[in-house]
Every structure is written in C-alpha cells, then in structure tokens.
C-alpha cells in the first residue's frame, strides 16, 4: 500500500518518484516500523526493578537510560547487527 501511494498518489500533489526511489522509500518506511516495534519491546522488557534500583541510587533519567536500560535492551533486541 505504501508503494502504491508513493508511486501513484504523490504525483497528484506534484511529487514524482521513479520506481526504484519509491521502492527504496517504501521499504525503508516498512522496515523502520518493524525495527521501532522491536526496540520498543526490548525497552519495555527490562525489569522494572532495574529502573527502581537506579532511582534509589539517585540516577537521573538520562543516567538510567544510558547506564541501566539501554545496555540491557541492546542485548535483548535481535536486530543489532
């Protein structure tokens, strides 16, 4: 559907893509949606006890993300190559 809209719909508003450009943009949007969902699931799978422990140590939000949550979620997410 994205490819159809990019290739046939956008010329109606004055933006034209070649077939290859429309395919690259469309597949990039599709892949980005899947990767975003994988990363969201990896972030939410970090146990809440880890976040609570970081808060009890007085870490800020960014320190918690950088030092506690992101290192664990990177190991969980399967699309890290």
Q: pLDDT digits over 32-67, tens only?
A: 999 999 899 999 999 999 999 999 999 999 999 999
User: What is the distance between the alpha carbons of residues 54 and 16, in angstroms, rounded to a whole number?
Assistant: 50
DSSP conformational letter for 65: I
Radius of gyration of the chain (CA): 19
CA distance 66 to 34: 23
Residue 79's pLDDT band (cuts 50, 70, 90): low
Spans of all domains in the chain:
1-44, 46-81
Does the pLDDT value for residue 76 go beyond 60?
Answer: yes
């Amino acid at each position: 559907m994205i490819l159809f809209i990019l290739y046939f719909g956008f010329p109606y508003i004055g933006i034209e893509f070649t077939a290859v450009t429309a395919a690259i943009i469309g597949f990039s949007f599709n892949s980005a949606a899947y990767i975003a969902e994988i990363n969201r699931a990896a972030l939410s799978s970090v146990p809440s006890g880890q976040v609570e422990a970081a808060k009890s140590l007085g870490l800020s939000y960014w320190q918690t993300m950088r030092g506690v949550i992101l290192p664990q979620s990177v190991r969980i997410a399967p699309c890290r190559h």
